[in-house]
Amino acid sequence: MQRKSFATMECPIARSLEETGDGWTLLILRNALLGARRFQDFQARLGIAPNTLTRRLERLVELGFFTRQRYAARPPREEYELTAKGLDFVPVLLALAAWGNRWVMREAVAIECMDPRSGHKVEPVLVDRRTRRELVAGAVGLRAGPRASRQLRQALKRGVVLGAKRQPEVAR
Amino acid sequence: MQRKSFATMECPIARSLEETGDGWTLLILRNALLGARRFQDFQARLGIAPNTLTRRLERLVELGFFTRQRYAARPPREEYELTAKGLDFVPVLLALAAWGNRWVMREAVAIECMDPRSGHKVEPVLVDRRTRRELVAGAVGLRAGPRASRQLRQALKRGVVLGAKRQPEVAR
């Protein structure tokens, strides 16, 4: 994909996409969370070209999503183990999956979340940790964080609400 | 990006990526949620090539993220208005942003979420709507949905927990 690099932007979405923003990368993370650990597991499950898979895995190791663990000495063989950073991607993929079930799969839902202890169906919703209010369009604002640039701080000064009807647009 | 089409897969993540899985598309949705409505707003804010932006917006209209609203008759000018499907992408982007603040921005957080009424900082967490249990690695399972294929149903029969330590791998 040709595009400007997002790496220097201040937005955490843009910065996260720099690391994860291609379909294969997200599907590799998905399969790792489902238990895939070896090159051939990913390759067989995803039907991805080996050289593409090699590049994506290398990059995910560099970025700290995986560490390599040797599981055989001769010939040397390694598994890809998710780090805390990789494991913490679960809520992102589940939020995407829940949206996908609502708006893409609709009546054709093939996979749903469940509580592994009770077996009950689980419906993922994003809430504020403290107040437990649901974070949906019109009910979440953005503000400058501790390390915002002066320019960004200025742009966010009046506050911005995500998905609000008719509001002055913010610069990013 | 060259890859197999994800459109026929049963996984809601793969299916969602078919619609949203490129960085520009997610950033266009982000800016729309921040108040951008006109072609030139997106163009100026994102620094995206006009032909790339045209293609992405066309596709987002086709997929039902936006409707076009005419705001001037001569010459005809249209704004892009988010639909319910587009507005419902807020939790996905916020889950990604929260992960990005934790693992990419780290000590350099420039933007954070707030409650638009109180101004208090908000920390997005994904929970089950009913039990309010947090959905993190090791604590969420997957099961076949109502329209799963026989093959998928078989693969998920023993159950799978996302991000569990050492579990039998599931076929997708």
Residues of B in contact with A11 (CB under 8 A): 30, 97, 110-111
Contact B114 A160 (CB under 8 A): no
Give the distance from residue A76's alpha carbon to the nearest chain B alpha carbon, in angstroms: 21
Which value does ipTM take for this structure?
A: 0.90
Report the pLDDT value the prediction gives residue B64, as an integer from 0 to 100: 95
Query: Is the per-residue pLDDT at A114 higher than 50?
Result: yes
Tell whether A149 is within 8 A of chain B (Cβ).
Answer: yes
Cβ <8 Å between B162 and A131 = no
Number of helices (H) and strands (E) in chain B: give both, helices first: 7, 7
CA dist B79 and B83 (Å) reads 12
- Whole-angstrom Cα Rg for chain B: 20
Which residue type is seen at B31?
Answer: N
Which one of B8, B117, B162 would you mutate to disrupt binding with A, by most A Cβ within 10 Å of its Cβ? B162
Q: Which among B34, B120, B172 is the nearest to A169, CB-wise?
A: B34
Q: What is the pLDDT of residue B22?
A: 81
Note the pLDDT of residue B5: 61
Element (H, E) at B38: none
B14-47 exposure pattern, b = at least 16 Cβ within 10 A, e = fewer: bbbbbbbbbbbbbbbbbbbbbbbbebebbbebbe
Q: Report the C-alpha gap between B36 and A35 in whole angstroms.
A: 40
The pTM assigned to this predicted structure is 0.90
Chain B contact for A50, CB < 8 A? no
Write phi, then psi, for A7 (nearest 5 degrees): -65, -30
pLDDT band at A2 (very low <50, low <70, confident <90, very high): very low
